[in-house]
Amino acid sequence: MPTLPHVPAATVSGTVVSGKKMSGDAMAWRADRPGRLWISEPASILLHMEHSQAKFANDAFYLAFAARDMEHMDALWARHCPLICLHPGWPALTTREEIMASWQRILDNPQQPAIEIYGAQAFDMAAGVAVVCYELLEASVMVATNLFVEEDGAIVLVHHQAGPCGQPPAVATGGTTE
């Protein structure tokens, strides 16, 4: 498997993510579609997205965020499904164009603090898998929900919401928790 271009390996949720297929996951990076996670089995055979697949996609989302990589951020968001993005303090964004414009502004902002995540948990939802995690920023912790679905054989993001967390769980020694 090729590594993701322009995205360095990073530790996210306690797992080293370098764009390579992770053992046990039914997905892989496709060289011809950078940033997209592709289900290795045909969609008709894969009846249920595994939690590990959604958590891998969540790690890819935060890796693109940390690397300020707009190409991969764009590739992770659905193209045909309805979308919702709720950044803290922003109005609800519901079109792909305004969501991608928001990420462009965030990733281009030199004052945007570095981000790390911990405590990722996956939950089955009617149409996909939601991953809830905590975002560590410079002086705060946010709680985030990211919803992933299958679209055209790829695992994509359809919902992101983050907000301040007044009582976050402690980070385990070593910087991450699972």
Phi-psi region of 134 (alpha: psi -120 to 50; beta: other; left: phi over 0): beta
Structure confidence at residue 21 (pLDDT): 34
Euclidean distance between CA atoms 178 and 174, whole angstroms: 11
Q: Where do the domains of the chain lie, and which CATH numbers do they carry? A: 10-164 (3.10.450.50)
Structure confidence at residue 9 (pLDDT): 30
Burial 71-83 (b: 16+ CB within 10 A, else e): ebbbbbbbeebeb
Which regions in the chain score pLDDT beneath 50?
1-32, 38-47, 175-178
Euclidean distance between CA atoms 72 and 165, whole angstroms: 27
Structure confidence at residue 148 (pLDDT): 97
Residue 154 contacts residue 36 (beta carbons within 8 Å): yes
Euclidean distance between CA atoms 26 and 29, whole angstroms: 11
Encoding tokens for residue 170?
Answer: 């402690």
Structure confidence at residue 138 (pLDDT): 87
| Greatest distance between any 2 Cα atoms in the chain | 45
